[in-house]
Structure 1
Amino acid sequence: MINPENPIQQTISSDRLIPLSSIPAIHTLKQGILLEQTCLRHLTELLEASQGIDHIIAVSGYRTKQDQEQIYTASLADNGADYTARYVALPDRSEHQTGLAIDVGMLRKDVDFIAPAFPDSGVYKSFKQLAAGFGFIQRYKEGKEALTQISCEPWHFRYIGYPHAEIMERQNWCFEEYIDALRSCTYDNDHLLFEDNHSFVDIYYIPADAGAYTTIPVVLCDRYLLSGNNVDGFIVTAFRDKSRRAYG
């Protein structure tokens, strides 16, 4: 989670960044837009599923710290401090520096780089409705401004993976609320449970030790994912496939 209180702590490795031009069907506002490779794969699938490939343009993806500094400074000059505070993150507080955030807009000639139009109708509405199933959340929603400290941005989507995005959508949680909710779901306590047609999923939080290392216990499962929350610990997502025998 990246926000004003939690600046990015680890720069993404360049070998995990893939140009959107590697998927020729995706329209981009400019050449050279990059995304983290898993994020790009699921974005492509989402665009195809929503039938938005010919109607949606990728406006902005990965940014370096220097890119964000330039965008922030330019917005201050062009739009003023109030607008910039509501729509542009400070350097090292921008999700775009992770390679996991994408700004999208309507495919047309006059695209606003800071606030591209992305209406709640047609293929754009389908994109929003299907996003969680592909691991994306609309990061800044109306009514959550007090928590996110950013105004509603219908164009800004963040890849956090499935089923996390699906859980957040069902609970109407923003990312800050989700991270807070998971703190009570520790390894020794009740886990956050999720089930779909393919898997049973256990999700739980492990606080980071004050020292150099943290031991991460993993429940019995077929596969698991481990992610730091960029705040104070780690999130374990453990999958048990329904196609296998029940566990004893």
Structure 2
Amino acid sequence: MEQLQQAEQLIDGYAKIHTIQVANAEIHQGHLVLINREHPIRQEVSTDRLLPLSSFPAIHTLSENMLLDRTCLQHLADLLEACEGINDIIAVSGYRTRMEQEQIYESSLAENGAEYTACYVALPNKSEHQTGLAVDVGKRNIDVDFIAPVFPDSGVYMTFKQLAAGYGFVQRYKEGKEAITHISCEPWHFRYVGYPHAAIMERNDWCLEEYIDQLRSFPYEDNHLVFEDERACVAIYYVPAAGEGTTTYTTAIPVVPCDRYTVSGNNSDGFIVTAYRDKGSQADV
């Protein structure tokens, strides 16, 4: 569902508004799903959406057989190339099963204690790593801390952070947001949300909880959140799930005139539509 779809029903070169029917169960899918202690994993990620990091042999990994969401991984590879950090940055952790998250949580409790674990390790089914959309990165050296890898604010590491939003990544847990995220600052934990969402979040200093809440102020029927860069003009809006969010219903989602669009659930109460109009296109967003 979150993959780019070409706008349909072109009339005289223009795309007209059309509606797609989406099962409410898909609230729990997409690149903008919010995962935290109030919004746990409701739907296991399909294995066909995951790709091994070994598909990009240049990427250094802490362990073999690491997986990430396909789109997330492609953009991570592009980001590492852009920041020229491919030889200095190591992927420490990617997708985890519920069992793996349980083992990591219990191991941290035994080794680091309850206070430390509560700050840095999410409970099973409340970890973004179970979506395949989160990656921990670190400075490549002999001893890499699996729970809290070193990721400095200098050199290629800082360049990675500065370029991340342009490739759809945000530092998920920032200093000053602990009261909202309930996780301590983690300079090494990056979450793929897609572009331009990452750029909007960075521009406004919003964490994902704040962004998802803000998007409810931009319903389809009212003003949309508009983002523009040199390539495209993007309209973003929220559509609440029909039937009070129950998964037995489907929701009719209107798609504004555009060249292509994505739809993502927010893992709570509705869907987020991102409609792209390329510069020079006749589509009228």
Q: TM-score category by the smaller chain?
A: over 0.9
- Looking at structure 2, the residues matched to 80 and 244 of structure 1 have their Cα atoms a distance apart, in angstroms, of 57
Within-5 A mapping of 1:1-248: 1-210=34-243, 212-245=249-282, 247=284
CA RMSD of aligned residues (A): 1.0
Identity of aligned residues (%): 69
- Whether the 8 Å contact between 1:139 and 1:158 is mirrored in structure 2 is yes
2:217 aligned counterpart, secondary structure? coil
- Looking at structure 1, the residues matched to 283 and 163 of structure 2 have their Cα atoms a distance apart, in angstroms, of 31
- Looking at structure 1, the residues matched to 52 and 276 of structure 2 have their Cα atoms a distance apart, in angstroms, of 30
Name which of structure 1's ranges 39-48 and 210-219 shifts more when overlaid on structure 2. Answer: 210-219
- Whether the 8 Å contact between 1:36 and 1:100 is mirrored in structure 2 is yes
- Whether the 8 Å contact between 2:259 and 2:276 is mirrored in structure 1 is yes
Q: 1:246 to 1:28 in 2, by over 3 A?
A: closer
- Whether the 8 Å contact between 1:95 and 1:101 is mirrored in structure 2 is yes
TM-score (norm 1): 0.98
- Looking at structure 1, the residues matched to 93 and 71 of structure 2 have their Cα atoms a distance apart, in angstroms, of 17
2:198 aligned counterpart, secondary structure? helix
Name which of structure 1's ranges 7-16 and 87-96 shifts more when overlaid on structure 2. Answer: 7-16
Counterpart residue identity of residue 233, structure 1: G
- Whether the 8 Å contact between 2:239 and 2:270 is mirrored in structure 1 is yes
Counterpart residue identity of residue 259, structure 2: D
- Whether the 8 Å contact between 1:198 and 1:243 is mirrored in structure 2 is no
Counterpart residue identity of residue 163, structure 2: L
- Looking at structure 2, the residues matched to 59 and 244 of structure 1 have their Cα atoms a distance apart, in angstroms, of 41
Name which of structure 1's ranges 214-223 and 37-46 shifts more when overlaid on structure 2. Answer: 214-223
- Looking at structure 2, the residues matched to 67 and 187 of structure 1 have their Cα atoms a distance apart, in angstroms, of 39
1:154 aligned counterpart, secondary structure? coil
Q: Give ranges in structure 2 of 5+ residues lacking alignment.
A: 1-33
- Looking at structure 2, the residues matched to 223 and 150 of structure 1 have their Cα atoms a distance apart, in angstroms, of 35
TM-score (norm 2): 0.86
The Cα shift of 1:246 comes to 6.1
1:21 aligned counterpart, secondary structure? helix
Could you list the runs of 4 or more consecutive aligned residues of structure 1 that deviate by over 6 angstroms after TM superposition? none
The Cα shift of 1:156 comes to 0.2
- Looking at structure 2, the residues matched to 189 and 91 of structure 1 have their Cα atoms a distance apart, in angstroms, of 38
- Looking at structure 2, the residues matched to 120 and 34 of structure 1 have their Cα atoms a distance apart, in angstroms, of 26
Q: Deviations over 1:197-240 (max 9, x none)?
A: 11110000011112511110111111110000001100000011
- Whether the 8 Å contact between 2:257 and 2:283 is mirrored in structure 1 is no
Aligned residues: 248
Q: Deviations over 1:24-74 (max 9, x none)?
A: 100000101100111000000000000110000000000000000000000
- Looking at structure 2, the residues matched to 129 and 150 of structure 1 have their Cα atoms a distance apart, in angstroms, of 22
